[in-house]
A and B are shown apart, each in its own frame.
Chain A
Amino acid sequence: MRTLSVSALSGLLILALAACASTPPPDAEMALGKAAMGQAQSAGGNEYAPAEMRMARDKLERAQLAINDKHYAQARLLAEEAQVDARLAQSKSEAGKAGKAATAVKEDGRVLREELERKTQ
Chain B
Amino acid sequence: MSMIRSNPRTLIALAASAVLMACSSIPASNPQLETARADYRQAQNDAQTRELAPAELKQAGEALERADQAYARRDEAGSVNHLAYVAAQRTAIAQESARQRAAERAVAQSQVERDRMRLAARTSEADAAKLSAAAAQQQTLAAQRQTSMAVADAEAARRAADDAQVRTYQLETELRALNAKQTERGLVITIGDVLFDNNQARLKPGGLRNLEQLAAFMKQYPQRRLLVEGHTDSVGSDSSNEGLSQRRAEAVRDAIVGQGVAADRLSVRGLGETRPVAGNDNAAGRQLNRRVEILLSDVNGVIASR
Name the one of B79, B82, B117, B118 contacting A81, with C-beta atoms under 8 angstroms.
B82
Determine how close the nearest CB of chain A comes to the CB of B151; give it in whole angstroms: 33
Q: Contact at B103–A98, with CB atoms within 8 Å? A: yes
Given contact pairs A92-B96, A94-B96, A120-B124, A84 touches B117 in the complex (Cβ within 8 A): no
Task: Specify which chain A residues have a CB less than 8 angstroms from the CB of B103 in the assembled complex.
Answer: 95, 98-99, 101-102
Q: Contact at B107–A101, with CB atoms within 8 Å? A: yes
B97 part of interface (Cβ distance < 8 Å): yes
Given contact pairs A81-B86, A102-B107, A108-B110, A116 touches B93 in the complex (Cβ within 8 A): no
Q: Contact at A98–B100, with CB atoms within 8 Å? A: yes
Q: Contact at B90–A84, with CB atoms within 8 Å? A: yes
Instruction: Using CB atoms, name the residue of chain A closest to B106.
Output: A102
Given contact pairs A84-B90, A87-B89, A109-B113, A119 touches B106 in the complex (Cβ within 8 A): no
Instruction: Using CB atoms, name the residue of chain B closest to A80.
Output: B86
Count B-side interface residues using an 8 Å CB cutoff: 27
Instruction: Using CB atoms, name the residue of chain A closest to B98.
Output: A95
Count A-side interface residues using an 8 Å CB cutoff: 24
Task: Specify which chain A residues have a CB less than 8 angstroms from the CB of B177 in the assembled complex.
Answer: none
Q: Contact at A91–B82, with CB atoms within 8 Å? A: no
User: How many Å lie between the Cα of A77 and that of B78 in the bound state?
Assistant: 9
Instruction: Using CB atoms, name the residue of chain A closest to B81.
Output: A77
Task: Specify which chain B residues have a CB less than 8 angstroms from the CB of A109 in the assembled complex.
Answer: 110, 113-114, 117
Instruction: Report how many A-B pairs have Cβ atoms within 8 Å.
Output: 75
Task: Specify which chain A residues have a CB less than 8 angstroms from the CB of B17 in the assembled complex.
Answer: none
Of residues 69 through 93 on chain B, the ones whose CB sits less than 8 Å from some CB of chain A are 78-79, 82, 85-86, 89-90, 92-93
Name the one of B85, B93, B110 contacting A91, with C-beta atoms under 8 angstroms.
B93
User: How many Å lie between the Cα of A85 and that of B106 in the bound state?
Assistant: 27
Task: Specify which chain A residues have a CB less than 8 angstroms from the CB of B99 in the assembled complex.
Answer: 95, 98-99
Binding site of B, secondary structure by majority: helix, strand, loop or mixed? helix
A113 part of interface (Cβ distance < 8 Å): yes
A88 part of interface (Cβ distance < 8 Å): yes
Task: Specify which chain A residues have a CB less than 8 angstroms from the CB of B79 in the assembled complex.
Answer: 77
Determine how close the nearest CB of chain B comes to the CB of A45; give it in whole angstroms: 12
Determine how close the nearest CB of chain B comes to the CB of A69; give it in whole angstroms: 17
User: How many Å lie between the Cα of A82 and that of B93 in the bound state?
Assistant: 14
Task: Specify which chain A residues have a CB less than 8 angstroms from the CB of B107 in the assembled complex.
Answer: 98, 101-102, 105
User: How many Å lie between the Cα of A84 and that of B84 in the bound state?
Assistant: 12
Contact with B along A51-79 (1 / 0, CB 8 A): 00000000000000000000000000100
Task: Specify which chain A residues have a CB less than 8 angstroms from the CB of B128 in the assembled complex.
Answer: 120
User: How many Å lie between the Cα of A112 and that of B90 in the bound state?
Assistant: 40
B121 part of interface (Cβ distance < 8 Å): yes
Name the one of A87, A92, A98, A113 contacting B104, with C-beta atoms under 8 angstroms.
A98
B132 part of interface (Cβ distance < 8 Å): no
Determine how close the nearest CB of chain A comes to the CB of B115; give it in whole angstroms: 10
B137 part of interface (Cβ distance < 8 Å): no
Determine how close the nearest CB of chain B comes to the CB of A53; give it in whole angstroms: 13
Given contact pairs A81-B82, A91-B97, A99-B99, A105 touches B111 in the complex (Cβ within 8 A): yes
Closest 4 pairs (CB-CB, A-B): A98-B103, A91-B96, A84-B89, A95-B100
Q: List 13 additional A-B contacts (Cβ < 8 Å) besides A87-B89, A102-B106, A102-B107.
A: A81-B82, A84-B85, A88-B96, A91-B97, A92-B96, A95-B97, A95-B100, A98-B103, A98-B104, A101-B103, A101-B104, A102-B104, A113-B117
Please, could you name 13 A-B residue pairs with CB atoms under 8 Å apart, sorted by A?
A80-B86, A81-B89, A84-B86, A88-B93, A92-B96, A98-B103, A98-B107, A101-B103, A102-B103, A102-B106, A102-B110, A105-B114, A112-B118
